[in-house]
Structure 1
Amino acid sequence: MPRNGQSAVPAMGKGDRPMRLTSLATLAILLAAPGSVALAQTAPAAAAPQPAGPPNGTGFYADFETLFARFNAWKTPKAVNGIVDYSPQTVARRRAELAEFQAQLPGFAVARWDRHQQVDYLAVRAQMDLADFTLNITKPWARDPGMYVDELQRLAYTDLPLKPDQSEAFKARIRAIPAYLAQARINLDSVAADYADLAIHSLSNGDGVGHGMPYRAVEPAGLIGWFADLRARAATQQPDLLPDIDAAQAAIAGFRDWLVAGRPKMTAAAGVGKPAYDWFLHHVRLMPYDSDEIVTLAERELERHWSNYATERHRNRKLPELQLPTSGEEYEAQLAGTDAKIRAWLRDEDIITIPDYIPGTYQAVGFNAPWVVRPKGPMFWEQVQFRDASPDHLHATFPGHRFDGMTGARVTHPIRRHISDSGRTEGWGFYLEEQALQLGLFDDRPRTRELIYIFGLFRAARTIGDVKMQRNEMTVGEAMAFWKEWTPYLDDDVARVDAGIYIRRPPGYGMTYTIGAMQLQKMLVDRRRQLGDAFRIKDFHDYLMNTGRLPVSLLRYDLTGLDDEVGKLWAHVPLAKAMATDGSGGTARSAR
C-alpha cells in the first residue's frame, strides 16, 4: 500500500501492493510490461542452442563480468525529455544488439567455474532472456496503452512551484506530451482488450488504492483528474505553466477518446499464452515448476490457508473481533507499538541481524499505510492494516521489503547487486508472515492470526488468477471475480489494481509471492537437514539479506550445493527456436 506522499525510504516493491507500474524509463530498462498474444512474434535472429550442461568454452569469468556490465548499461535506453523511442527502427536495432550479447554466452568456460560463478551465469542469461521476451513477445509499446498513461500520471504529481534547476526539464516534458501521445497512437497497433479497458479506466477514474500517489482528500479522477489537479496548483503557484498544461490536457483527453472509439477493434488477448508462459518460467524466472504445477500448488495453498482461517475463527469464536481504529492518532500509536514489538522480537529470538545502518524508527524506514478516511470506507489492505499493522509491517517494512532494500543496497557483488527477482523479494515478504506466526509472534494475538491467513489465501488465489490470465484462461474481470469470491474484505478497487499489475508486468509476478515463499521454505528445509542441530535460522536469513536477490533456485544451489533444480536449468531453448512451434509440434501462427 502506498504512503500517499509521506516520506519513505524507497522500497524494492511496496509491500504486497507493488507501486503502480514502474516509470516509462524504468519499463524501458527491459522494454518490459507484459502483454502479448501467442508465443509466435516477429522472430529475432536465432541464437545457437546451448548444451544441456554448463557451456564449456574458453572465456574467463572476468570477461563475463565485463559482458554483464556492458549489457546492464545497454538495457536502459536513453530517454529524451523523458520519452523513449519505440519506433520500429529502434526496436529492430535493439533486437540485433541483444542478439550480439546472447551470442557470446556459450563461449565461456562455465563448466570449469565454481558453483557461485555458475549461479551468476544463469542469472545473467535469464536477464538477457527477459529482454528478449519483452522485445519479441510482450511488446508493451505496441499492446499496452497504460504504459504511456503511467509515465504521464507521475509527471502530474510534480510539486509546484518548480525549483529553478527543474523548470526547463519539466517544461520540455510537458511540451512533449502532444507529440508523445500522437506517436503512441501509431505504436499501439495491436492493443489487447484488457489493456485497453484498464487504460481507459485509469484515464478517467481514480484507482481507489493510491499506489505511489500523493495524498488528496478526494482522489483525482484518473490521469485526466491529476492533470486538472496540476493545473489548479499551477494557476496559483506557477501560472506560466498553464499554456503547456492546457495543451497536454487536450492531448490526454484526445488519447482517451481515441481509445474509447477504437475499443471495439481492440480484441487481442492480453496474456502471453501457455507455451510462452512456461518458456518464461523456465528461462527467465528459473522456476523448477511449470504453470500446471504452479496452479496445483496454489490450489493446495488456497485450501490450506482457508482451512486454517476457518479453524482459527472457530478457535477465537468467543473473543472480540478486531476493530478499526477511530482516529489517526490511535492508528499511529498502534503502528509505533507494532514496529517496536517486531524489532524486539527479531533481536530477542535471534531471527535476523539488524545492522546498525537500519534507521531506528518506522517513519525513517518507511511504511505503507497512512491514516486515510475514504468515502467508501477502508479498502482491503486498510481493513487488515488498520486492525493490526503486523502482517503488512513484516512484509513491507521490517524485515520485509524496505529492510530488504537497505541490506540489498549494501551488496557489492558486481553482478548480483544489479539483479532483483520477485520470487526472492515478494517470496521473502510473504515468507515472513507465516514464519512469524510459526515462531510465536502472534501467540498473544489470536485474532491477528486470522489476518495472516487472509493474506495467505489471497496470495494463493492471486497465483491461480495470475497464471490463468497469462495463459488466456481468465480475463481481468474474471480474475477479479474469482479473487473476491475467495477473499474476505476484498473490494473491486484492490482487485482491479492487482489484476492490472499482474497482467501487465513480466509474466508470473503475481505467483511469486506464494511460490517464492514455498521455495524459501524448501531451501530452509534443505539447509536444516544439511547442518542438523548446527542450523541457525538467523544465519539462514542473514545469508538471504547479504547475497543478492537472485531467483531462489539459484540461491538454493549457491548456499547448499544441491543441483537437482539447477541441473535442469542448463537446458536452454532460445526464444527464437521456441517461437517456431506452438508447443504441440505445429508451426505457430505469425503475430505482430
Structure 2
Amino acid sequence: MRKAPIAILAALLAGTAGLTAPAPAIAAEQGAAAPVGPPDGKGSHDALVTLFTTFTEWKTPKAVDGVVDYSPATVDKRRAELRAFQAKLPDFAVARWNRHQQVDYLAVRAQMDLQDFTLNVTKPWARDPGMYVDELQRLAYTDLPVEGPALAAFRARLRTIPAYLAQARINLDSVAADYADLAIHSLSHGDGVGHGMPYRAVEPEGLIGWFEDLHGRAAKAQPALLPEIEAAQAAIGGFRDWLVAARPTMTTPAGVGKPAYDWFLTNVRLMPYDSDQIVTLAERELERHWANYTTERHRNRNLPELQLPTSAAEYEAQLAGTDAKIRQWLRDEKIITIPDYIPATYQEVGFNAPWIVRPEGPMFWEQVQFRDASPDHLHATFPGHRFDGLTGKRVTDPIRKHVSDSGRTEGWGFYLEEAALQLGLFDDRPRTRELIYIFGIFRAARTIGDVKMQRGEMDVDQTMKFWKQWTPYLDDNVARVDAGIYIRRPPGYGMTYTIGAMQLQKLMVDRKRQLGDKFAIGEYHDYLMGTGRLPVSLLRYDLTGYDDEIRNLWAHKPLSALLAQTP
C-alpha cells in the first residue's frame, strides 16, 4: 500500500525548521540553482491592499435575479480581467517588506491563483451539472407564505429557472462522468446529509422531490405562486431527462490530474508537500488511528458500549452538558481565551447535528454525535468552526479578514479532537476516546480518497467502497456526499483535515521549541484565532520566522505555463 519508505515519512514530519536558504555559492557547489527570492519592485504594501480590495470585490460574479452568467463571452472577459490583476503582482517591493507583509503578498497571490484554476481547469459551469442543481436547492426550502420585497425576489428567481437551465445545457459541454452521476442522484434521490434542508419525517427525493414539497405547501399557503413553481418543476424535470439521456457521452474524468493537483497544492494551498507525500502521511495516519482504536477497544472491553439516546430531550440534555463541560475545561486548563462576545449557550452558538429520527437509523455523523456530542462539538462548534467563525469576524486586517483556507479551518477543527484527548478532556469518558479515533480514521481515509480521485486513480464509487472498508459506522449517503464534496470543490479540500491538523501540530512543536518554558498553549491557540485563517505554512512563517516552507514559493510557476505543457 505504501509507496514511499518510512524514512521519507520521518523526514516529512521532522521538517527543517529555522534553516535559512543556502548561500548561492553553496547552492552552486551542491548542484542546485540559487534560490529565487521575493519580487523587488516598487509597489508598497498599501498598494497591495488596494489591489486586493478591488480583486475581492471582483472575484464573486454578480447575479441577476439570483442567476450568474456563465456564458462563454462572460467567462472570457473574466479571464482577461484576472490576467490584469495578476500582471501587477511582480511590481511590488516584497523583498524589502517585513515577514508579516510578505505573508500577505503570498496570500493574495494564492487567492488569484485559485480564481485562475477555477476559470481554466475546474470550470464547474462547463463540467459539473451539480453546480446548477446546488444553486436551486435552497430555493425549494423557502418558508411560505412569502410577503413584501421577499415575495418579489422569490417570484423573480422562480421565473428565471427555465431559461437558466436551458443555458446550462449549452454551457455544459464537457461534463465529467462522476459529476453527471452525482447530479442525477441529487436531482432524484434524498440523502439527508449536509444540504441545510428542513427536517421531514419522510425526506423528499432530491431537488425534484423538494420542488414537489414546495408545490404542495404553496397549494395550501400561497396558490398564486403555483404557475411559477410548476414552470420551474417542468424545467428541472427536463434538465434531469436531458442529463440522463446524455450521460453515455459524458465519460471524461472529474479529477484534474496529478500535475494540476500538485500545482494547486503548491500555489493555492501553499502546502509544503506534494500529493505523493500527502498520501504517505495519510496512510500512516490511517494505520495510527486504527491502531489506537484497536487498543482503546481492548482497554475498554469490560465497559458498556455507548448507547444512542431514546428521545430529543435526552439528546438535548447531553448537548447542554457537553457544551458546559467543554467551556469549563477550556477555562480551567487555560486552553484558549473565550471572548466576551462569544454567546453563553450552545443554543446561541449553534450545534452541528439536530435530533432526527430516521426510519433507517442514524447516519454516520449521528452515530457518533448522538452517542457523545463532544467530538463533533469540539470540531464544529466550540471551540471549532462556529467559535472560529465568530473570532474570524473580528479580524480587521484588510487582507487576512478575506482569506479562509481550509487547511487552517478544517485543520483546526480536527486538531482540536485529538488535542482534547491528549489534554485529558476524555479521561472520564473512555468509550468517547474510541469515537475520536473513528473520526481520525475517516479523515485519513478521506485524504487518500481526495488525492486519488483528483489524480484520476479512483472514481467516486471506488472511493466510497474504500472508505466504508476502513471506517466504522460509515453509510453510503455520507460516503457519497463527502466524495462529491471533495471531487467537486477546489482540489485538496478533503485532505486538509488530516494534513492541516498535522501542520498545526508541527507549528505548535516549532513554537514550543522556539520559546521553551515561555510557551503557553493558550497563547498559541489565541494567535490562531486572532491572526486570520491563512494557509498554515504562512502562519508558521508569520509566527516563528522559519522560512523553510515558504522559501520555494517565491519561484512561482504560473498556471498558464503548466497548461502549456499539458497535452
TM range (shorter): over 0.9
State how far apart, in whole Å, the 2-side matches of 1:273 and 1:566 are: 24
Shift of the alpha carbon at 1:210? Answer: 4.3
Residue identity opposite 1:187 in structure 2? N
State how far apart, in whole Å, the 2-side matches of 1:210 and 1:439 are: 30
Match of 2:52 in 1: 68
State how far apart, in whole Å, the 1-side matches of 2:470 and 2:192 are: 21
Instruction: Choose from 407, 423, 434 the match for 1:439.
Output: 423
Instruction: Choose from 151, 154, 157 the match for 2:141.
Output: 157
Instruction: Choose from 238, 262, 270 the match for 2:254.
Output: 270
- What is the count of residue pairs matched by the alignment? 533
Residue identity opposite 1:460 in structure 2? A
Match of 1:219 in 2: 203
State how far apart, in whole Å, the 1-side matches of 2:68 and 2:36 are: 38
Instruction: Choose from 329, 337, 358 the match for 2:342.
Output: 358
Residue 252 of structure 2 aligns to a residue in which SS?
Answer: coil
1:577 maps onto 2:561 in alignment = yes
Residue 165 of structure 1 aligns to a residue in which SS?
Answer: helix
Tell me the alpha carbon deviations over residues 430-487 of structure 1, each in whole angstroms, 9 at most, x when there is no partner: 0000000000000011000000000001000000000000000000000000000000
Residue identity opposite 2:208 in structure 1? I
Residue 269 of structure 2 aligns to a residue in which SS?
Answer: coil
Residue 40 of structure 2 aligns to a residue in which SS?
Answer: coil
Instruction: Choose from 498, 515, 535 the match for 2:499.
Output: 515
Instruction: Choose from 278, 281, 284 the match for 1:300.
Output: 284
Q: Which runs of 4+ in 1 moved over 2 A?
A: none
**Structure with the bigger percentage of helix:** 2
Higher relative contact order, chain-length normalized (CA < 8 Å, sep 6+): 1
Residue identity opposite 1:78 in structure 2? K
State how far apart, in whole Å, the 2-side matches of 1:373 and 1:210 are: 16
Match of 2:43 in 1: 59
1:482 maps onto 2:473 in alignment = no
Tell me the alpha carbon deviations over residues 368-420 of structure 1, each in whole angstroms, 9 at most, x when there is no partner: 11111101100000000000000000000000000000000000000000000
Output aligned runs, 1:223-302, within 5 Å: 223-302=207-286
Query: What's the RMSD between the two structures over aligned residues?
Result: 0.7
Match of 2:478 in 1: 494
State how far apart, in whole Å, the 1-side matches of 2:484 and 2:117 are: 19
Shift of the alpha carbon at 1:527? Answer: 0.2
Match of 1:413 in 2: 397
1:425 maps onto 2:405 in alignment = no
Residue identity opposite 1:66 in structure 2? T
1:533 maps onto 2:517 in alignment = yes
Residue 420 of structure 1 aligns to a residue in which SS?
Answer: coil
Match of 2:547 in 1: 563
State how far apart, in whole Å, the 2-side matches of 1:570 and 1:515 are: 22
Tell me the alpha carbon deviations over residues 70-98 of structure 1, each in whole angstroms, 9 at most, x when there is no partner: 10011011110111111111001100000
State how far apart, in whole Å, the 2-side matches of 1:147 and 1:227 are: 17
1:448 maps onto 2:432 in alignment = yes
State how far apart, in whole Å, the 1-side matches of 2:368 and 2:155 are: 41
Shift of the alpha carbon at 1:303? Answer: 0.2
Output aligned runs, 1:271-420, within 5 Å: 271-420=255-404
Identity of aligned residues (%): 81
Shift of the alpha carbon at 1:208? Answer: 3.1
Shift of the alpha carbon at 1:52? Answer: 2.2
Shift of the alpha carbon at 1:506? Answer: 0.3
Match of 2:5 in 1: none
Q: Give the gaps of 5 or more residues in structure 2.
A: 1-34
Match of 2:78 in 1: 94
Residue identity opposite 2:350 in structure 1? G
Residue 412 of structure 1 aligns to a residue in which SS?
Answer: coil
State how far apart, in whole Å, the 2-side matches of 1:207 and 1:551 are: 32
Match of 2:89 in 1: 105
State how far apart, in whole Å, the 1-side matches of 2:299 and 2:131 are: 47
State how far apart, in whole Å, the 2-side matches of 1:306 and 1:167 are: 53
Shift of the alpha carbon at 1:53? Answer: 1.1
Shift of the alpha carbon at 1:176? Answer: 0.5
Residue identity opposite 1:255 in structure 2? F
Shift of the alpha carbon at 1:211? Answer: 2.7
Match of 1:469 in 2: 453
Q: What TM-score do the two structures reach when normalised by structure 1?
A: 0.90
Shift of the alpha carbon at 1:341? Answer: 0.2
